[in-house]
Amino acid sequence: MTASKAVKDYTGREFVIEREFAAPRELVFQAWTDPKLLLHWWGPKGFTNPVCDWDVRPGGRIHVVMRAPNGTDYPMGGEFREIKAPERLMFTAGALDGQGKLLFEFLHDARFTERNGKTLLTLRSQVIMTTAEANKYIGGFEAGMTQSLERLAEVLAALADGPLVVERVFDAPVALVWRALTTPAEMKEWYFDIPGFKAEPGCQFGFVVEHEGFQYDHRCIVTTVVPGKKLVHTWRYAGHAGDSLVTFELFAEGEQTRLRLTHEGLDTFPRQACFARKNFFGGWTHLIGASLAEYLEKNQAAGSGTADREIVITRVFDAPRELVWEAWTNPEHIIHWYGPQGFTTTIEVMDVRPGGVWKHVMHGPDGTDYPNHSVFEEVVKPERIVFAHGGGKPGGTEATFQSTWTFEAVSSGRTRVTIRMVFPTAAMRDTIAKEYGAVEGGNQTLARLAEFLAR
């Protein structure tokens, strides 16, 4: 980079940035010229590009809206001057004010040099027009562009041969992210509508997505489930050759969660444009980096105000807290009281620890079976049990919610039990309350617990 001027008039100032990428020149050039790829890396870290018009031809228009993590939009305009694929790209670009006028303008000259399978990018960026209010933006150009190129390196790595890997860190606990990945009602909000999905090995599920006139009929089978940590399933398309594997892995980082998605076997699909690697990258980046991130952010924000989507039931028992805890956590006891009046329960597995699975079938008086699958998220003896619940009757609405049972010693030999069920939406709460009689069923369950404790 050239020496800095003593004044803040950046006119004529030239920035020179060089970076080598471990990718062939044609791929690097494509990442600079294909708007579907460029929108994933243009801008500093944390920025997105909800608008990315990038018409790569002499005189072609540039209009990009960069959105900062705080939601502020920064529109940019320009045009292409010269294109010599895959060697050179010259274009102008600059920030726009509220009236669409340029605050400043750069002339960018990007050169791509091949080096034994790698690519050296030399970017010369000269300020050809500026205004007084633009200094704060131009002063941060080099740092911002350097971050953009770091993001470009990540995109190129994902587009290279081998497994496709996408990682994101979310401001949400692992339990919340896991529910979003495995609960059909929540998956529908950010992913796809898969009502038959269950986080169980052997579960077969499918869904159809239509895009640009092509129908993608997905057929998948769950192969591995480690609650709260890992979900693996196959991924193929009906009527087409090829079979791949998708792995979701979760890592707790304090109050945050790092999600790593790995999609293996993309090279087994037909060599058709619709199965191009860049399409998988764009799809997963959007789903994980945008759709899931927005859903989790919304869910977190609503976490402190869930009254409109929760059911709360309380009862005081004439029994010490330790005894009530034992009645809940011992499979030999819980089968005698869990469920509404007239119900019986068969337990397949009950591993009462964080990450442990609880699978049981409730048998109604009319002979209807209600299979349930839950994962324990918190177990604090003898105070609190939290689990993610999924279940319902065949053909009925999937009852998915987070259930928290608290055990409070209110006096010598007496215990207050509070059940708090939080549903993904208020509509889901109302549906479950009506279809399954959740409130009355909860009260009857606690009444049966009282009778069992008395015995």
Task: Compute φ and ψ for 10, nearest 5 degrees.
Answer: -85, 5
pLDDT for 374 equals 92
Q: Would you say residue 5 has pLDDT above 50?
A: no
Determine the average pLDDT of the residues in 8-23: 90
Angle (nearest 5°) at CA 324 between 323 and 328: 115
Burial 170-208 (b: 16+ CB within 10 A, else e): bebbbbbbbbbbbbbbbbebbbeeeeebbbeeeeebebe
Domains of the chain: which residue ranges?
Answer: 14-159, 164-302, 307-454
What single letter denotes the amino acid at residue 143?
A: A
**pLDDT score at 302:** 56
The secondary element (H helix, E strand) that includes residue 282 is helix 277-286
What integer pLDDT is reported at residue 172 of this predicted model? 86
Please state, in angstroms and rounded to a whole number, the distance separating the CA atoms of residues 69 and 290: 12
Residue 236 bridge partners (DSSP)? 219
Residue in 155, 149, 156 with CA at minimum distance from that of residue 16: 149
Task: Please state the three-class secondary structure of 170-234 as a single string.
Answer: ECCCHHHHHHHHHCHHHHHHHCCCCCCCCCCCCCEEEEEEEECCEEEEEEEEEEEEECCCEEEEE
Chain segment 184-230, per-residue pLDDT in tens: 888 999 999 998 898 889 999 999 998 777 889 999 999 999 888 99
What CA dihedral angle connects 95, 100, 102 and 103, to 10 degrees?
-70
Q: Which helix (H) or strand (E) holds 1?
A: none
- Report the pLDDT value the prediction gives residue 8, as an integer from 0 to 100: 61
Q: What is the pLDDT of residues 85-127, one digit of tens each?
A: 999 999 999 999 989 999 999 999 999 999 988 999 999 999 9
How far apart, in whole angstroms, are the C-alpha atoms of residue 260 and residue 63? 32
Output the six-digit token pair for 390.
Answer: 């999924």
User: What is the chain's alpha carbon radius of gyration, rounded to the nearest angstrom?
Assistant: 28
Q: What is the pLDDT of residues 54-66, one digit of tens each?
A: 999 999 999 999 9
Q: Which amino acid, residue 177?
A: V
Model confidence at 318: pLDDT above 80: yes
Element (H, E) at 148: helix 141-159
Q: Which residues pair with 311 in a beta bridge?
A: 421
Q: Is the pLDDT of residue 133 over 60?
A: yes
**Which two three-digit tokens encode residue 355?**
């990450």
Q: Does the pLDDT of residue 346 top 80, yes or no?
A: yes
CATH number of 307-454: 3.30.530.20
Per-residue model confidence (pLDDT) at position 411: 80
Q: Which of 79-93, 128-142, 374-388, 413-427 has the highest mean pLDDT?
A: 79-93
Note the pLDDT of residue 186.
Answer: 86
Share of the chain above pLDDT 70, in %: 97
As a whole number, the mean pLDDT across the chain is: 90
pLDDT digits (tens, 9 = 90+) for 324-333: 999 999 999 9
Quick one: tokens of 449?
A: 């617990």
Q: Over range 170-178, report the average pLDDT.
A: 87
pLDDT digit string, tens, across residues 273-314: 889 888 898 889 889 988 998 898 877 665 555 677 889 999
Please indicate whether the domains covering 14-159 and 164-302 agree at the CATH topology level. yes
Residue 7 pLDDT: 44
CA atoms within 13 A on the CB side of 51: 11
- Residue 372 in 3-state DSSP? strand
Mean pLDDT, rounded, for 317-323: 95
Pick 295 or 233 by higher pLDDT. Answer: 233
Q: Is the pTM of this model over 0.85?
A: no
Q: Quick one: pLDDT at residue 415?
A: 94
Per-residue confidence (pLDDT) for residue 2, from 0 to 100? 43
**164-302 has CATH 3.50.50.60 classification:** no
pLDDT over 80 (residue 249): yes
- 86 cis-preceded (ω within 30 degrees of 0): yes
Q: Using the predicted structure, report yes or no on whether residue 1 has a pLDDT greater than 70.
A: no
Can you tell me the distance from the alpha carbon of 354 to that of 226, in angstroms, rounded to the nearest whole number? 12
Burial of 255 (0-12, 13-18, 19+ CB in 10 A): exposed
- Pairing relationship of beta strands 344-350 and 73-84 according to DSSP bridges: unpaired
Residue 243 contacts residue 265 (beta carbons within 8 Å): yes
Return the number of other C-beta atoms located less than 10 Å from residue 346's C-beta. Answer: 12
Question: What secondary structure does DSSP assign to 387-405, as a single string?
Answer: EEEEE--TTS--EEEEEEE
Residue 421 has pLDDT above 70, yes or no: yes
Which class does domain 14-159 fall in? alpha beta
CB proximity list for 434: less than 8 A, separation 6 or greater: none
**Residue 69 above 60 pLDDT?**
yes
Q: What is the pLDDT of residue 427?
A: 87
SS3 319: coil
Greater confidence (354 vs 232) lies with 232
Identity of the residue numbered 150: E
378-415 residue pLDDT tens: 899 999 999 999 888 888 888 889 999 999 988 878 99
